[in-house]
Structure 1
């Protein structure tokens, strides 16, 4: 575990005692400092009091909708929020991500996967405060100042739209970025999810230029029905 992850404060907001216990015991073993809340209101109070480095937020809370808790925390906090949901509907995931969540995990979940996603979210949050003009992902480098992309030391020729799409995904490495957000940021507010064919075409172009095997991508990963996730930096 990276040094900046050790001792990170994690707030668990979930009304199920057995889930909180499982998360507490497991995450404490990874040297995280755990705080808990069983309701939305308690979660809001703890978030303000503890100022956690990351929040695990259940959407099915007894007093407040999880999305309302998410929205209220996002009014003042940039701490990564990973949504825990028993709902597997794509629209629920999209609404949560567009509402400010950094990631989502569907119950029942693998603790190994959850810990990995927590680490990615913490690393991404830490990198946000660092001015990095060049992003590096293995053999791929993206020079944000000069808008130059290189793979294995050789320049990759991208169209302006391809570059804008790649940049948007890369600066959010490790996070799920919804189709809606990508369309609005790259093509403008006049485009919506109904125009997702634009996205598929350009993602296909990028994969052909960046991936050794575009059918098994290593950089741009698909979150079916939701959006895309750029590989996190190791």
Structure 2
């Protein structure tokens, strides 16, 4: 097994770069931020990876976790060798189907369209995603920026002006909600990504319509 990458909660994971590109996931069903079952559903929709769920109440949550997308449900206090055996089994089972699903993923070259007057973002296949006024401000900033990358301070100023100084957490929460809105409304991977020590960027062509 390759080295593990850990996140403190589901919000941090969903805002991380390449969140849905990992080959295996271990998910606790009790989460801060997005609930564990909702996170399992997102992973199952967006990734071909294997998923092991860890639960404090495995008997009560087993059916829900499996229906949400987990391949295996283990107790949160399962011995390490049980967890590793489950991961190896899930990896073997998922390996044959991963390439086909990954080939079906939409290429990053396909253009998205922002329509500010309609308060809408259009996916490459034409799916319409309704956006709030603040989300339109963010998307316009991304659309107009070079390489669709905007510094955090610029977004804070555009959204809140003089009150922007203590709004970092509000911006992070907004960007998370924007990503989640895109993926729940369209089932396309959200091209909005955080860039460490810089801000945010939109990793696909983005046109103003």
Q: TM-score range by the shorter chain?
A: 0.3 to 0.5
Higher relative contact order (CA 8 A, sep 6+): 2
Structure 2-normalised TM-score? 0.44
Q: Which structure shows the higher helix fraction? A: 2
